[in-house]
Structure 1
Amino acid sequence: MSESTERSVVVERTSSGQFVATNARGGSISFGTVPDGQGTGFTPVELFLAAIGGCTAADVDVATGRHAEPTEFSVAVTGDKVSDDLGNRMTNLKVTFTVAFADGEGADRARTILPRAVKTSHDRLCTVSRTVEIGTPVSVTIRDA
């Protein structure tokens, strides 16, 4: 039996400007707009940045974690939100890894493969950033309730 290629979430409104996304496995995450910069919840743009960082972090963690447990592992994702003739969008997306390993043979191997793991994730494996870089159309429809 082969795994389905389709991935999906359902986003439902919970209150004004607030939503919850639920995946097919029943997991959920709340998010929404942040009026006047108030609140700590994630915005859709921050979830987008988190998706890029999380996708590539998972790839790199699998590759390096085979050899050593990191003592530090974080991925910062930044970008500029612009509004111009092309509409609202993100530009200047940057992903910065901070990864450290303790001393030891496995840690030396993990440090050695870290740059290749980051490059491979960026160039081939991370579905999220690959989709952004290559681009794909997004179709939108309205269905009767």
Structure 2
Amino acid sequence: MSDGLRQVSLERTSRGRLVARNERGATLALGMGEDGDFTPVELLLVAIAGCAAIDVDLITGKRSAPEEFRVDASGVKIRDQHGNRLVELSVDFQIRFPDDDGGRAAEAVLHRAINASHDRLCTVSRTVETSSPVTVNLRGARVAGPQLAPEQ
């Protein structure tokens, strides 16, 4: 993954159900919310919260392991002139460190770690907030998304 490209593939397993695979072989089932599988919208919330949580854990974890570390993510699904989408995206950290020197050191950098993740480190939330266009192809040919620049 040194070139920056990230890739997953999805394969249909039954009507409305898919399995996602990454290049390392891990799999994740997803569906439409009619069973226990994650929905694509839930996975977006997982990605936003998970990216931030990993950033914060790596920064604070250099000082102390937390006694509690939970991150909740939410959003409100709406339909408007822009189509279906989430608004009011929110990530809420519930983190508690031990009452010792390491815990106090971790607590002292916690706000800065959360801000650093939000403002520059978390690829997922940075992508969502900067509205990265999505190109959709069918068998390699563009069918939806941003227009190609005119050839010169």
Into which bin does the TM-score normalised by the smaller protein fall?
over 0.9
How many angstroms apart in 2 are the aligned matches of 1:65 and 1:14?
39
SS at match of 1:51: helix
2:77 pairs with 1:81: yes
Q: Which has the higher helix share?
A: 1
How many angstroms apart in 2 are the aligned matches of 1:75 and 1:117?
14
Aligned partner of 1:60 in structure 2 is: 56
SS at match of 1:141: strand
Unaligned runs of 5+ in 1: none
Q: Percent identity?
A: 48
TM-score under structure 1 normalisation?
A: 0.94
SS at match of 2:84: strand
**Alignment of structure 1 residues 15-34 onto 2, 5 Å:** 15-34=14-33
Aligned partner of 1:69 in structure 2 is: 65
SS at match of 2:136: coil
SS at match of 1:46: helix
TM-score under structure 2 normalisation?
A: 0.89
1:83-108 Cα distance to aligned partner (Å, 9 max, x none): 11110000000110000011111110
How many angstroms apart in 2 are the aligned matches of 1:63 and 1:90?
29
Aligned partner of 2:149 in structure 1 is: none
Aligned partner of 1:93 in structure 2 is: 89
Q: Which amino acid aligns with 2:12?
A: R
How many angstroms apart in 2 are the aligned matches of 1:49 and 1:114?
21
How many angstroms apart in 2 are the aligned matches of 1:63 and 1:141?
38
1:68-87 Cα distance to aligned partner (Å, 9 max, x none): 01000011101100011110
Aligned partner of 2:6 in structure 1 is: 7
Which runs of 4 or more aligned residues in structure 1 lie more than 3 Å from their structure 2 counterparts after TM superposition? Answer: none
How many residues align structurally?
A: 140
